[in-house]
Amino acid sequence: MELATGLTGRYPLHAAVLGWELVPDTEVTGWRAACECGRRGGLQRTGDRSSDVGSPDDVEAATHNQWLVHVAPLQAARAVRLCQPNLAPP
């Protein structure tokens, strides 16, 4: 079972996460990266439907790579911020 946002009424509600339903694995057709800032990545399909489909490992890697691209600017800014105490005054 996987968590999905929204209330369709087709699936049981998750007991601890309000507004999320438990979708059976057999009905999951892909994954989408979601950041706590609200950004959502593109849908990465899994299964056996077409050439845009990948194995679960491929889908996980593609989803993770989308997220890494999204957070790269934040990681660079954090690195600068961490180095500031070591900079000599002007």
- The predicted model scores a pTM of 0.52
- Predicted pLDDT of residue 50: 47
Domain ranges of the chain: 2-84
At residue 63, φ and ψ (nearest 5 deg) are: -65, -45
Mean pLDDT of 27-43: 81
Q: Cα(8)–Cα(24) distance, rounded to whole angstroms?
A: 14
Dist. CA 2–CA 21, nearest whole Å = 8
Is the pLDDT at 72 greater than 60, yes or no? yes
Residue 51 has pLDDT above 60, yes or no: no
Mean of the pLDDT values across residues 32-37? 81
Please answer whether residues 5 and 19 qualify as being in contact, where contact means their C-beta atoms are separated by less than 8 angstroms.
Answer: yes
CB-based contacts of 79, cutoff 8 Å, min separation 6: none
Residue 37 has pLDDT above 80, yes or no: yes
**pLDDT computed for residue 66 by the predictor:** 86
When pLDDT is averaged across residues 44-63 and rounded to a whole number, the result is 68
